[in-house]
């Protein structure tokens, strides 16, 4: 009877660990921000295992590479910008197989020779745990040189529980981000939609105007686009719209925002850009757009022309609809006077 009670006591999870687990799950379920989630994971891992370096790598599905999203401990600065191919090194092996890897003697493991960003000579041991959810492995947690006695079955089991909850939180954050992206994105072109235009423009005006900084907006309408649909059909028309949207994105500066306003109309928002700079930018953009030959899937090569009206706050107004309206009016003035041009104030 006495031994039964002793075993129960020994198998009980310490209260301190239960509190860590409780705090982690509360933190993970209270945010859908991926950055916050990753920091929360690493902070709690640090509390569970004493080690020299903790890293959390996330999987870039497009390139099938792991990148160091966050790190704690010594030497994490050297990890910034480094990438690890799936299958390479300890982290790459874990990502590929979806299994935990414990290396008690790093010098005897050939995978450590290909470990990126961490000097093999400085690594004595490593624990690498996959962040594996319902939809696959999303990343890897690496713990370098854990304190002697930390690599017990209990600690590893506890880390697995935390990693499982972390993976669920990461998947939830990805799902929320995907849904948010769908609500602000135009299906045909992949550009932002008009609903998001109002949100971004309102925010930019609210930030820039009080600081005395200009905000420019260009309203762009494709010329005679109805002829494309009438001549080649709506499928070709949609394909051309999609390619035009991508081309506008390519021709815009990194700091600019591209939107599909509706139909064959587009808006490009240029924060902190004067009227003169916006006109210069758009004259060059329009020339490049009109010189582009768009290759359709059926082999047809098409070009587009556009009429562009540009407005700038605060000179043309400080209200959102005033800026859009002024750019729209100038675009129609271009339509009335020959098309294929840019008009500002």
The percentage of the chain sitting over the pLDDT mark of 70, rounded to a whole number, equals 85
Residues of CATH 3.30.450.40 domain(s) within the chain? 2-182
Distances in whole angstroms, Cα of residue 142 to Cα of each of 25, 81, 113, 181, 235? 20, 17, 15, 31, 49
Q: Is the pLDDT of residue 5 over 60?
A: no
Quote the DSSP letter at residue 12.
S
Q: Is the pLDDT of residue 153 over 50?
A: yes
* In 136-182, beta strands by DSSP E: 136-144
- Mode of pairing for the β-strands spanning 342-343 and 306-313: parallel
The percentage of the chain sitting over the pLDDT mark of 90, rounded to a whole number, equals 48
Poorest-pLDDT segment among 44-53, 277-286, 331-340:
44-53
Question: In this predicted structure, what is the pLDDT of residue 246?
Answer: 95
pLDDT tier, 344 (very low <50, low <70, confident <90, very high otherwise): very high
What average pLDDT score do residues 76-97 get?
A: 83
Q: Please spell the DSSP secondary structure of 14-40, one letter per residue.
A: PHHHHHHHHHHHHHHHT---HHHHHHH
* In the chain, beta strands by DSSP E: 53-60, 65-73, 83-85, 101-103, 126-133, 136-144, 215-222, 257-262, 265-271, 294-295, 301-302, 306-313, 342-343
Q: Is the pLDDT of residue 75 over 70?
A: no
99 phi/psi in degrees, rounded to 5: -125, 150
Average pLDDT score over the chain: 85
What average pLDDT score do residues 204-209 get?
A: 92
Long-range CB pairs of 83-87 (<8 Å, 24+ gap) are: 83/116, 84/57, 84/116, 86/59
Residues of CATH 3.30.70.270 domain(s) within the chain? 194-343
Helix, strand, or coil here: 187? coil
Nearest Cα neighbor of 304 from 291, 295, 285 is 291
What average pLDDT score do residues 88-92 get?
A: 89
Q: Which one of 3.90.226.10, 3.30.450.40, 3.30.160.60, 3.40.50.620 gives the CATH number of domain 2-182?
A: 3.30.450.40
What average pLDDT score do residues 8-37 get?
A: 66
111 phi/psi in degrees, rounded to 5: -65, -25
Question: Which distant-in-sequence residues (6+ apart) come within 8 Å of 73 by Cβ?
Answer: 51, 52, 53, 54, 144
What average pLDDT score do residues 206-217 get?
A: 94
Architecture of domain 194-343 in this structure: 2-Layer Sandwich (3.30)
pLDDT tier, 284 (very low <50, low <70, confident <90, very high otherwise): very high
């Amino acid at each position: 009877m006495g031994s039964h009670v002793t075993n129960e006591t020994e198998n009980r999870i310490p209260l301190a660990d239960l509190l860590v687990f409780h705090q982690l799950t509360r933190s993970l379920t209270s945010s859908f921000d991926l950055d916050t989630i990753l920091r929360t994971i690493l902070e709690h891992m640090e509390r569970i295992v004493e080690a020299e370096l903790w890293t959390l790598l996330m999987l870039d599905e497009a390139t099938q590479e792991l990148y160091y999203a966050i790190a704690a401990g010594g030497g994490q600065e050297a990890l910034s910008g480094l990438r690890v191919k799936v299958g390479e090194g300890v982290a790459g092996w874990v990502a590929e197989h979806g299994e935990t890897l414990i290396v008690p003697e790093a010098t005897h493991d050939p995978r450590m020779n290909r470990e990126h960003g961490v000097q093999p000579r400085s690594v004595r041991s490593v624990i690498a745990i996959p962040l594996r959810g319902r939809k696959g492995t999303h990343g890897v947690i690496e713990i370098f040189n854990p304190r002697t006695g930390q690599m017990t079955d209990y600690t590893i089991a506890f880390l697995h529980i935390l990693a499982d909850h972390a993976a669920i939180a990461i998947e939830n954050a990805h799902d929320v981000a995907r849904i948010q992206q769908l609500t602000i994105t135009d299906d045909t072109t992949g550009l932002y939609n008009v609903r998001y235009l109002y949100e971004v423009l309102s925010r930019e005006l609210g930030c820039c105007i009080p600081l005395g900084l200009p905000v420019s907006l260009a309203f762009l309408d494709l010329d005679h686009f109805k002829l494309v649909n009438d001549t080649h059909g709506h499928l070709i028309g949609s394909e051309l719209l999609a390619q035009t949207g991508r081309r506008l994105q390519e021709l815009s500066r990194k700091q600019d925002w591209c939107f599909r306003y509706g139909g064959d109309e587009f808006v490009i928002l240029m924060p902190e850009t004067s009227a003169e700079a916006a006109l210069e930018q758009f004259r060059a953009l329009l020339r490049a757009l009109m010189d582009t030959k768009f290759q359709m899937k059926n082999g047809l090569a098409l070009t587009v022309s556009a009429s562009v009206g540009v407005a700038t706050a605060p000179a043309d107004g400080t209200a959102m609809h005033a800026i859009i309206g002024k750019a729209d009016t100038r675009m129609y003035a271009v339509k009335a006077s020959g098309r294929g041009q840019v008009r500002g104030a």
